Amino acid sequence: MARVLIRNVSVLVVPESGECRVDEAQDIHIQDDRITAITPTGTPPPGAAADGAGEGEVVDGAGLVAVPGLVNSHTHSPMVMMRGAAEDLSIDDWFNRRIWPMEVNLTPERVRVGARLACAEMLLAGVTTFVDHYFHADQIAEAAIESGIRADLAPTFFSSAGPEAIDAAVDTARDHRTRGPRITASLGPHATYTVGDEDLRRTADLARAEGFRIHLHAAETDDQTQSSVDRLGVTPVQVLDRTGVLDAGALIAHGCGIRDADLPILEQYADRVTVASCPKVYLKLAMGTVTPIKGLRSVGVRVGVGTDGAAVHNTLDVWEALRMVALTQKQREQDAEWMNLSDTLRLATRGGAAAAGLADQVGALEPGRQADIALVDLSGPHCQPVHDPRAALVYSVRSSDVRTVLVAGEVVVRDRKLTRMDLDEVFTDAKDLAHTLVDLSQGGAVQHYAP
């Protein structure tokens, strides 16, 4: 590794609370994988050698805004292979007539090809960390490592697959801990409605004993919560509480069905429980509501922005997702002043970092943090004139405005090109295999949706 200097760039400063701001004409100094200093352009960083020797690579930031690399707080990356293959369907039909029958077709190779495409899409769009939840997660790790992206990977399991499948998933998670600094591991029970209490309890015990976090779907819709109450007498959050999942530390995907009565429970674990919100999906599947972020924030639970899988979100575009969070939160609370520019940007950066279990490592551009940075070009006609760069980032920017991306101090996208992967080869492989993923002729399904 080496030194990198991003010279003469505007820097998006995302504080832990309060207003974000953009500081113009800054130099970002990077040593190895970390930011060492951010100084006005041309000022030597504290402790720099006077002769500037060993300066390393210089990235010209003129006209660009440096943004903390976005975090995709919840996705199933290989599902890009099913993009556009399950449209205009109810949530029941989406699961039972398309996705779960299609997932009978999963193989390690197909998962890897999909994950490679997903990593390419995300890096080119300024996503530097993704929090994944899927099968054959060892293949997703390979793809992530190849691309240079950072990933927290939860090998997914259903109770219906039997204890061996759970053991295998846990073993995969253990193995991920050996895959280098950009890969972290979580445990991935699918959901409260597909994994029984005993298996959740066992997962939570393991997580506590070995220091894993747990990433799972829970309270995705009001209907799921009501069904849980009807069947079990408790809400999904109460299931997570009584099985020890919350105590172990959890990332709850969606949580649209979290009730006010669940909030005091979540408050007890606010230091280790986070929620990912993916609102494009909630509208597209007509799920009836969106994540109650205002309530979650009132009890100190941190929230990240996610895309969910591209089989429903169609993209892994976190710019699109963060915009949808702002819009749908204003709508939900009937308050145009709520979920303002600063809070929205904070969710997609610091909030995502917390969801990834990396709250102290990524999510902000500060000395000591990992150098995960997206350089964004606001010069397009859809952003001009720029009265407020924060507004441009939330409401105008497209992923195609991302020009250069660093992960852990390494340039992984330079001038809109991946530095580590051959995109044409990624496309060729994906096109060759895409039809095999969506083939419904095999019959069967990996699971049945009846929450």
Does 384 engage in binding with a second copy (CB under 8 A)?
A: yes
Q: Considering CB under 8 A, how many residues would be counted as binding a second copy? A: 68
400 forms part of the interface with a second copy (CB under 8 A): yes
Q: Does 388 bind a second copy (CB under 8 A)?
A: yes
31 binds a second copy (CB under 8 A): no
Task: Single out the segment in contact with a second copy by CB under 8 A; choices: 27-35, 37-45, 202-210, 398-406.
Answer: 398-406
Interaction with a second copy in 224-243: which residues (CB under 8 A)? Answer: none
State which residue, 175 or 333, has the beta carbon closest to a second copy: 333
CA distances from 125 to 35, 180, 335, 349, 423 (A): 21, 23, 30, 14, 14
Stretch that binds a second copy, among 36-44, 138-146, 190-198, 421-429 (CB under 8 A): 421-429
What is the nearest approach in angstroms of a second copy to the Cβ of residue 444?
Answer: 21
Cα dist from 372 to 88, 230, 286, 366, whole Å: 36, 45, 35, 11
- Contact assessment for residue 237 and residue 262, using Cβ atoms and an 8 Å cutoff: yes
- Kindly report the length of the chain: 451
Tokens coding 257? 């069905």
Question: Taking CB under 8 A as the rule, does residue 379 contact a second copy?
Answer: yes
Contact between 438 and a second copy per CB under 8 A: yes
Options 104-112, 137-145, 153-161, 424-432: segment touching a second copy (CB under 8 A): 424-432
CB 270 to a second copy: min, Å: 26
Q: Which stretch binds a second copy (CB under 8 A): 2-10, 214-222, 225-233, 313-321?
A: 313-321
User: Rule CB under 8 A: is residue 286 a binding residue for a second copy?
Assistant: yes
Residue 129 forms beta bridges with which residues?
A: 71, 150
Query: For a second copy, which residue of 330, 366, 414, 420 counts as binding (CB under 8 A)?
Result: 330
String of contacts with a second copy for each residue 57-96, x by CB under 8 A: -----------------------xxxxxx-xxxxx--x--
Shortest distance, CB of residue 106 to a second copy, whole angstroms? 16
Q: Which two tokens stand for residue 69?
A: 């690399």
Question: For residue 329, which phi and psi values (nearest 5 degrees)?
Answer: -70, -40
- Smallest separation, CB 349 to a second copy (Å): 18
Site string for a second copy, 98-127 (x = CB under 8 A): -------------------x--xx--xx--
Q: Say whether residue 220 binds a second copy (CB under 8 A).
A: no
Interaction of residue 354 with a second copy, rule CB under 8 A: no
412 binds a second copy (CB under 8 A): no
Please tell me what DSSP assigns to residue 181: T
Q: Residue 345, interface with a second copy (CB under 8 A)?
A: no
Residue 140 is a binding residue for a second copy (CB under 8 A): no
Which residue in the block uniquely carries the two structure tokens 């610091």? 350
Site for a second copy in 150-209 (CB under 8 A): none
Using CB under 8 A as the binding rule, whether residue 440 contacts a second copy is answered as: no
User: Where on the chain is the footprint of a second copy (CB under 8 A)?
Assistant: 80-85, 87-91, 94, 117, 120-121, 124-125, 280, 282-286, 288, 313-317, 324, 326-328, 330-331, 333-338, 340-341, 379, 381-392, 395-396, 398-400, 423, 426-427, 430-431, 434, 438
